[in-house]
Structure 1
Amino acid sequence: MSAPVIALSGITKTYEGEGDAEVHALSGIDLDIFAGEYVALMGPSGSGKSTLMHILGCLDQPTAGRYLLGGDDVSQLAEDELAQIRNERIGFVFQAFNLLARTSAQKNVELPLAYRGVGLRERAERARDALTRVGLGDRLLHKPSELSGGQKQRVAIARALVQDPQVLLADEPTGNLDSKSTRDILGLFDELHREGRTLILVTHEEEVGARAGRTIWLRDGLISDGRPLLEASV
């Protein structure tokens, strides 16, 4: 078997609490994810799934442990190095879309390429191709206010894909969508998985997590051997 695209060993994350108290968000995570896998991270509120997502996305650093991304140790990189990893090797899709409100769909998708110094003509072409890939080739010049929730999320997915990342991370990507848009977005993720993309999805919705090829349950900062009950308030 080939080496995993993501390899976590002994990952912990501790936050300072009130007084001398400490909050142990992650208490020793060992996890391998291989290229082309579609993985869902699930668990009740406070289980550590969002903290783990932030570490996987190089948005935060672990307190201890080792994180290899494509064989490179990214556990303790400086912030500017983490920013470069995020821009070049990880694609993000968020619940709130995180689009620039006064900017067209095409310009939103071009943004990560602009940060990388890609020329105007190339980034415009790549953005158009990415939007066409997600079914929005006829919405290139529309601003977010002129798009439905599902279309906004498609723009966000195109923006994540335009850099051809090693890993696509989706954090509650259907949380703001109606049932039809949810089905459409999940169908698009299925297509990306069939194309060989590595997908990691954080969700509290069982029917969404069930679409993944592997489900990883977290509880109290650890990977749970059994399937934990989801809290009604999540």
Structure 2
Amino acid sequence: MSATTSTPPIIGLDGVRKTYRTGSLEFEALRGIDTAIREGEYVAVVGPSGSGKSTLMNILGCLDNPTAGSYLLAGEDVSTMSEAQLAEVRNRRIGFVFQQFNLLAGLPAWRNVELPLVYAGLPRQERRERAVAALERVGLADRTAHRPGELSGGQQQRVAVARALVAEPAIILADEPTGNLDSRSTADVLDLLDGLHDAGRTIVLITHEHDVAGRASRNLVIDDGRIVSDTPTARAGVPA
């Protein structure tokens, strides 16, 4: 699905700044971020280590608060949300995929995938059915009972993608999701993200790799806490 200019943004940032303070020392990680991401877009945030892209991802995921500026999520000011509302946003409206997988080693794949549904209070049988269905979507129907240590890196990341999908969130935030993968597994995970985008999911991908960013339809290049470029990619011309 391609976003259109008539669609209101699902993410809107206006003058977003983030300053970290340690004693008398200050570090400004974000220096005034202005951007909008529309429903159904696939956007890559690209930049070197220390550029501010992970700080931006934490703010987008409601894991951290901006020091100044505003963040509107589907038109709602995130700063006005209670802790309970923010927890619900993180659990139901945003799906997270991290570089380190963040899987629990002692649990089989389906139990790892069901965790967002546990926090949402769904019945056990429904949780299992939805977790297994999510694993089937990422090509792991035959690995539902395998623990993370019994899976390859690429398979573990697919479990993480299934966990991000299981609550049917509006937005997928992927922070360096291919950073620990070989080239074959990287291609598999990026193919999964392509498919999710083509099905209408909004995806924000954080990466320092320009070839990975090229799979998105739009690149936001960030450096020294500022957006220095906002351009469509070749994929933007591919009908979804």
Unaligned runs of 5+ in 2: 1-5, 232-240
Counterpart for residue 168 of structure 2: 164
> What's the TM-score once normalised by structure 2's chain length?
0.91
C-alpha deviation, 1:22, in angstroms: 1.3
C-alpha deviation, 1:180, in angstroms: 0.5
CA–CA distance in structure 1, aligned partners of residues 21 and 81 of structure 2: 21
3-state SS of 1:140 partner? coil
CA-atom RMSD in angstroms: 1.3
C-alpha deviation, 1:76, in angstroms: 5.0
Q: Which amino acid aligns with 2:144?
A: L
Counterpart for residue 4 of structure 1: 9
Q: Which amino acid aligns with 2:16?
A: I
Counterpart for residue 153 of structure 2: 149
1:10–1:65 contact (8 Å) kept in structure 2: yes
3-state SS of 1:131 partner? helix
3-state SS of 1:224 partner? strand
> What's the TM-score once normalised by structure 1's chain length?
0.93
The structure in which a higher percent of residues are strand is 2
**How many residue pairs get matched?**
226
**Equivalent of 2:30 in 26, 32, 52:** 26
Counterpart for residue 234 of structure 2: none
What are the Cα deviations for residues 167-226 of structure 1, in whole angstroms up to 9, with x where unaligned?
100000001111110011111111111111101000111110111000000111111038
Counterpart for residue 130 of structure 1: 134
3-state SS of 2:114 partner? helix
Unaligned runs of 5+ in 1: 228-234
**Equivalent of 1:185 in 179, 189, 192:** 189
Q: Which amino acid aligns with 1:107?
A: R
Counterpart for residue 87 of structure 2: 83
Identity level (%) = 61
Q: State yes or no: 1:16 paired with 2:18.
A: no
* Closer, same or farther: CA 87–226 of 1 in aligned 2, 3 Å: closer
3-state SS of 1:107 partner? helix
Q: Which amino acid aligns with 1:203?
A: T
CA–CA distance in structure 2, aligned partners of residues 44 and 142 of structure 1: 35
Counterpart for residue 231 of structure 1: none
C-alpha deviation, 1:43, in angstroms: 1.0
C-alpha deviation, 1:83, in angstroms: 1.8
**Equivalent of 2:215 in 199, 206, 211:** 211
1:47-126 aligned at under 5 Å gives the runs 47-75=51-79, 77-126=81-130
Counterpart for residue 230 of structure 1: none
